A and B are shown apart, each in its own frame.
Chain A
Amino acid sequence: MWLSVSLAGAATFTASLDKDTITLGESATLSLTFAGATPQGVPSLPAIAGLQVSYIGPSTQVSFINGQTSTTVTHNFAVTPTQDGEFTIPALQAEVAGEKLTTQALKLKVLKPGAPPPQAIASGQQLAFLKLVLPKKEVYVGELMTGQIELYLHERIRNIGGFQITAFPADGFTVGQWKEGQQRREQIGNSVYTVIPLSFPVRAIKTGSFNIGPVTASLVADLPSANRPRDLIEQFMFGGVERKPLSLATDAEPMKSLPLPAQGVPPGFNGAVGEYTMNVTAGPTNVSSGDPITVKVAISGRGALDSITLPDQPAWHEFKTFPPTSKVEMTDALGTQGVKTFEQIIVPENAEIKELPPISFSYFDPEQKDYRTLTQPAIRLVVKPGGSTPAPVMATAPRTAPENAPPAQDIVHIKPRLGQLAQIGPPLVERHWFLALQSVPLLAFVSSLVLRKRAEMLANNPRLRRQRQVAQLVHEGLHKMRALAAGKKSEEFFAALFRLLQEQLGERLDLPASSITEAVVDEHLRKGAVSEKTLTALQEIFQACNLARYAPVQSSQELVAMIPKFEDLLRELQRMKA
């Protein structure tokens, strides 16, 4: 209902171009706008000779004005000319809700791109211009050369931004990524220009006559403002510069791409064009038949290294060959020079092979305008009849196959005996018991090391050694004393007791055991080295020993009762600081 009202009101269909004049290589945008109505689909455009039209997409705008809604739908198309001239986009018709709407016809002027005339350049008044520099006018198909675009910027240009090459027509050639070179300054007329060279690789892919360019580019140049800034804020924000978009173009350069000569094509030539050298290595050279040999072929030089392939080597028929692997290492930023290394595994199939046959690589040298063949001399090989060399009669022949056995024609026959059976299971290294067993030598070594260290420590510490000897002596002596007490051998009991006391005191006081007497003890222990209680107990023991010499104790219980007292005393003495 609303649509019908709207249509009845003011449905319009208009066409517009964002630019009516463009340079060949640029594009214009054609907008078809439906106001007050929504079309059913995308309107179709008729084919226009010299123009390529591609759909970009729609955009919709809805607006409310005084409570009324209006809708505008715009379909955008990119219009790219393929030639220069003046073109007319005819009036277009569209049917919206049964009503036929028509646009007006549009005109588009396409200018031929080109460099400014030489006089303009020579005057030094040109703000910026481009030059296309190609080293040759004639190349061979497959030949790689380095071209250059030189961007000249007048000294008035303070800075540039948004530089982009908008078109680089190069039919019959492939153009690689450009790299910026070293800037230089050049005087033209009375002006000084900054020259920025942009180098790029170009490779001929078709034969015939072609044009490279005109190359077009756009940039925004910062120029000193013609008007003085009104205030400091404007000076700060805009810096007193004026931004000027510039479109630049070079002239087209005619190029001739020649076919490779049909005469003198070497056998094995597979299309490599450039200047190359070759280096071949192979190893190992002493092998058994069936063992792999790695052949490395390094082709270095200038040309399209990426597309080089290792030619077939018909002389390798006695080897099993595997597909080669390759890697390219470029030595310049443009990728026109470098080394391509092929690594190929070959397997000698019999022991008669004495050498790796010569390896050849042919290429066309565009500078010399002739084919060249690089040949690596044969590499001497020693091929032994290895275990993996199949022999036709191996099933019946003894293991020692004759030297130079011919290649196998069939597999070795089946084995008549089952042989030694093995349980299918994990390898030893994954079995727990085996891993545990490996700790045995380690434990043996660690134990030996600890024991030796301990022995060394004792050997270097006589006091510690004596301490341990006395401890052992006391331990054994107490056992002996218990036996003597049980046997009522009073005299031997006290002799043993006195000797143990001498040993323990001698060790503590660092004196010979035989020198320990009651007087010595008094002299050394009175100084507060032991408690009064210990000293008293010690005196009692000494007195008991003295008494026993003249009045031996007869009772076993009395002797046994002395042992704990003696043990307590020994403990006290052992606690005493040595």
Chain B
Amino acid sequence: MNLATKEYKEHKAGVVLALAAILLALCPSRVMADDLSAAFQSANKLYEENKFAEAASAYQKLVESGKASSALYFNLGNALFKAGQIGRAIVAYREAEQLAPRDPDVRANLQFARNQAQGPTLPPSRWHHWLGRLTINEWTMLASGTIWAWLMLLAVLQWRPAWKQAMRGWVAGLAGAAGLFCLCLAASLYESHAEKTVIVVARDVIVRHGPLDESQTSFTAQDGAELRVLDQKDEWLEVSDGGSRLGWLRRDKVVAAPGV
């Protein structure tokens, strides 16, 4: 009897110790989240007091902490927009869009900011719009999930050949879906990595015919204009508005746009 009680107590102590270890492991992230939340509220307060530039730098500090949320980028975009930095606001909204691609508020504000940008800019592509409905991770999970389901079904059918006839539609459907999602993922990655887009973050940026300050002016890009990068040389980028306009501008006048 005594022996049993002792064993029970030892077991209980072990469980308590394990729980304590888990709590200790989780504690720093909990504390960090609380800190971030408090800093976020402070930045929101600055925004409500119409101190948009201060609010923007407060949100920016939170982003630099290494963790972010769609709401954080969204509010950063709002603060930048209100501070008159349309280009940087568009960058922030696009970051928010990456985390929450179907958030109507993010899409509305991104569209609103884009509407304010004057002058030549990349026209929105339907393909980009369609791919942007899901994040890269969501496309990845869809592609991976269908591949798993398809291969596991094929594995099961090796041992249940009688099911083959009944499951033929599922096999074909899953294979088709896996192929389609893989294509979407590949396109999404291509748009994100290969198609380099920059956003102008200064007013009246002169785009020149060549990568020299002495080169003739090709056109003027306004704050918020989204341009496709074609080439680069030293401190210069060759950009195009997707139509007939192209030229070179200085790197420090633009910010790389986040991918899909």
Contacts and interface: CB of A to CB of B under 8 A. Distances in A.
Given A418-B72, A421-B33, A441-B152, A292 B108 contact: no
Interface stretch (B15-23, B154-162, B202-210, B246-254): B154-162
Interface of A: 284, 290-292, 294, 320, 322-326, 345, 347, 349, 386-391, 394-395, 399, 408, 410-424, 427-429, 434, 438, 440-442, 444-445, 447-449, 451-452
Given A388-B104, A415-B105, A422-B68, 12 more contacts: A388-B107, A388-B111, A394-B104, A411-B109, A414-B47, A414-B79, A418-B69, A422-B67, A441-B147, A441-B150, A445-B158, A452-B158
Contacts of A449: 155, 158
B78 A411 contact: yes
Contacts of A389: 108, 111
B69, B150, B155, B241, most chain A CB atoms within 10 A? B155
A345 B99 contact: no
B111 A390 contact: yes
B78 A399 contact: no
B239 interface: no
Contact of B151 (A284, A349, A444): A444
Interface residues of B, number: 61
Interface of B: 33, 36-37, 40, 44, 47, 66-72, 74-75, 78-79, 81-82, 99, 102, 104-105, 107-113, 115, 120-121, 123-126, 129, 135-137, 140-141, 144, 147-148, 150-152, 154-156, 158-159, 185, 189, 241-245
A452 B156 CA distance: 11
A292 B151 contact: no
B219 to A, nearest CB: 10
Contacts of B37: 418
A408 B144 contact: no
A345 B69 contact: no
Contacts of B185: 429
A427 B70 CA distance: 16
B75 A421 contact: no
Contacts of B99: 422
Contact of A421 (B68, B124, B159): B68
9 contacts: A326-B244, A388-B104, A411-B78, A415-B71, A419-B69, A421-B67, A421-B68, A447-B155, A449-B155
B155 A323 contact: no
A452 to B, nearest CB: 4
A391 B108 contact: yes
B129 A292 contact: yes
A418 B129 contact: no
The 9 closest A-B pairs by CB, nearest first: A441-B151, A345-B123, A448-B158, A415-B71, A322-B123, A390-B108, A448-B155, A419-B71, A387-B104
B111 to A, nearest CB: 4
B36 A418 contact: yes
Given A323-B243, A411-B78, A422-B68, A291 B140 contact: no
Given A292-B126, A415-B71, A428-B141, A325 B244 contact: yes
A502 B158 CA distance: 37
A320 B156 CA distance: 54
B111 A422 contact: no
A402 to B, nearest CB: 14
B74 A325 contact: no
A417 to B, nearest CB: 6
Contacts of A414: 44, 47, 74-75, 78-79
Contacts of B189: 429
A388 B158 contact: no
A441 B148 CA distance: 6
Nearest to A413: B78
A208 to B, nearest CB: 33
B94 to A, nearest CB: 13
A347 B151 contact: no
A424 B68 contact: yes
Given A291-B126, A323-B241, A428-B141, A412 B159 contact: no
B159 to A, nearest CB: 7
Contacts of B140: 427-429, 434
Contacts of A417: 71
A423 B68 CA distance: 7
A290 B47 CA distance: 27
A418 B136 contact: no
A423 B104 CA distance: 23
Nearest to B128: A292
